[in-house]
A and B are shown apart, each in its own frame.
Chain A
């Protein structure tokens, strides 16, 4: 008996040793994973009370229809988030589209007086529309004075690094309306760029995108209903607003960077005019054989072009990877201001074809970062330029008449 008992003691000591030798790393690993999950849950708890769903109608109306899609294709409401001062930031395009071809989204948004911000408990708050900036896809609402919701801090997206972990919050497929909770997705910041401009001249192309600002590309999911939701860093600071805009060759969700829309947000809440974009170079065509390359003849002092390091004499070869052949093309690509174009619609058996006005550009938002590739002497250089703010006295576009002769200034 005694022997058996000591054997079993021995065995259990061995077993304990075995467990501590071989299982501890596993236990540690598990606790590390648990810690990670606890951190994600903490982030959710911190950010989610500031998320709202945004719709034209109050919650009861949406609920009675079972969340049937009225706004975007697959969600009855989109998302928004509360920031300091009782303001709600949300996505403008959901309310400016779908009102018929040829309509000016800015006029449609001007006509928008109130919207509902719906909280997770199913309460609807009638918000007044403070203002909009379609260049940033931005719509700003004001909560009623008696509604106090925790605000998210607006972070500086210029400090966000590629590869960093980010989280997206929103009303994916109306989960907020139907299930009373925001969706929460974690992923990493995959890229930062402007949309490809290649489709600009192909008027029939449906991928031509009037949005001219930057996007963050995110590995976390962005679904219908999420548009307008915040993209936050691990500290819960907003570094972007989720959008419906994406690039067909890329496949991931996108967000408008906060550093780009914050300037407009500040202007809207303080009832100031929105800043106009400034680049600040003068361009003329330099004839070289059959080619007419757009060449910079002068740089305004204090301009974005000067700050970027562009110089007189630089020949612009590409803007954001899109080859530029002449001054007209460069003007088209920059499309600084709101622009439309006429396009013939020849769908089905419609005779004669209908001419519709389509939006070429929402306008270049100040704060957007562009890449200019220039020829300087024998070298080609790619240079980042942050679009500046146009001084009100300065003339708008600076181009000189084409000089048919070869040569400089």
Chain B
């Protein structure tokens, strides 16, 4: 350990010397500007606080590099979506002292074989670089597709780690910082934004407005109080790469079961989510009822005969006060099961019962 530290210190000194070797020939009084005390300037105070957040959390964030061969025409890999997005590098968060690294599952893709030791024809090696320059070859130690998180394992001890199981829920409007280590293993990156929505993807994620790109996947999101609130994931795959100002981060407080199974080294592909196939909106201010605005052709709702402008009053004999009630009712079931709905068609008509089969989205 000591020799390793000395080595790192030596490296730092050498890097410093390298930087000094270049003389600029300019007055560089900028030292105080960037490093000095906040003084009475509000702008500098905010700037310094942002610098400090980044520096405080940078040691917990790693770079994740997938060493893979680019697809060639005709080898069937051209469709792999992430090659179209970006090939990284990405970030990861250290979640245990003995080298468990939490990442976004999307970056591993659908490659069969990743589960068996982390190597295959397409991903030859996975490298994890820590802020101090130590680099490790990692193995895939768990995947949870449903929460879009995966776990890597490196052989290291005594690492600083984040207790992701103890993260709290973010609040809407809260200012957030996103700490990454993707493009440069030896330096961290920092983006900022606010929490735009506390619950997306049935509560598994929250939305933030930082301009997140594919390389930010696996970045650590820090709340206003300087504590972690989540990790950037790709639960809505349309968003990343669009510069849409919309990004999702997984809420570890809401997906504790998935996180626990990842810590235990499990590889899980979730059952497909049940899908009814209606779009609806609250119809009245103070009484139950959802007005159907569209029905997906071929969906369970369409087959059961639900049409546009129908009023959904109850699901499983519970009143539907808003769309969340319907989503909850659907998600309490599995694909293939049925859901009982009370429907009214026309102003003065009597309500009638509809039994729809829940299918998978595809």
| Chain A interfacial positions (CB closer than 8 Å to B) | 32, 35-36, 39-40, 43, 153-156, 158-165, 188-194, 196, 198, 201-202, 217, 219, 233-235, 237, 239, 247-252, 259, 262-263, 266, 304, 307-309, 317-318, 320-321, 323, 366-367, 371, 373, 379-386, 388-389
Contacts and interface: CB of A to CB of B under 8 A. Distances in A.
Contacts of B47: 163-165, 188, 234
A162 B34 contact: no
Given A307-B14, A307-B21, A156 B134 contact: no
Given A155-B30, A159-B28, A219-B191, A383 B85 contact: no
Nearest to B18: A307
B190 A159 contact: no
B54 A386 contact: no
Say what secondary structure dominates the interface of chain A: mixed
Best-buried of B18, B70, B86, B137 by chain A (most CB within 10 Å): B18
Contact of B67 (A164, A323, A384): A323
Contacts of B34: 159-161, 164, 233
Given A164-B50, A383-B133, 14 more contacts: A39-B42, A161-B34, A162-B55, A162-B190, A163-B51, A163-B53, A165-B43, A190-B190, A247-B86, A250-B183, A262-B25, A307-B18, A309-B10, A318-B127
Given A323-B125, A386-B21, A156 B189 contact: no
B294 interface: no
B345 interface: no
B51 A384 contact: no
Contact of A219 (B29, B65, B184, B192): B192
B15 A308 contact: yes
B17 interface: yes
Contacts of A194: 183-184
Interface string B32-46: 011100000111101
Interface stretch (B210-218, B225-233, B323-331): B210-218
A255 to B, nearest CB: 15
A247 B177 CA distance: 21
Which 5 pairs across A and B sit closest by C-beta, in order of nearness? A249-B86, A193-B183, A191-B189, A307-B18, A380-B135
Contacts of B70: 198, 201-202
Given A159-B34, A219-B191, A386 B26 contact: no
A217 B212 CA distance: 13
Given A321-B63, A371-B184, A380-B137, A233 B33 contact: yes
B285 interface: no
A8 B34 CA distance: 54
Contacts of A196: 86-87, 89, 183
A4 B18 CA distance: 81
Contacts of A234: 33, 41, 43-44, 47
Nearest to B90: A249
A308 B18 contact: yes
Contact of A155 (B28, B212, B215): B28
B19 A249 contact: no
A386 B18 contact: yes
B87 A154 contact: no
B199 to A, nearest CB: 25
A41 to B, nearest CB: 11
A379 B137 CA distance: 10
A249 B127 contact: no
B170 interface: no
A159 B35 contact: yes
Contacts of A160: 30, 34
Contacts of A381: 7, 11, 133-135
Contact of B11 (A188, A263, A309): A309
Nearest to A214: B184
B43 A40 contact: yes
A381 B31 CA distance: 30
B251 interface: no
A262 B25 CA distance: 8
A341 B315 CA distance: 65
A266 B215 CA distance: 35
B161 interface: no
A162 B135 contact: no
Given A233-B30, A251-B211, A382-B135, A162 B183 contact: no
B42 A36 contact: yes
B26 A154 contact: yes
A217 B213 CA distance: 12
B196 interface: no
A304 B241 CA distance: 36
Contacts of A201: 70
A219 B209 CA distance: 12
B213 A250 contact: yes
Best-buried of B22, B129, B180, B190 by chain A (most CB within 10 Å): B22
Contact of A386 (B19, B31, B41, B48): B19
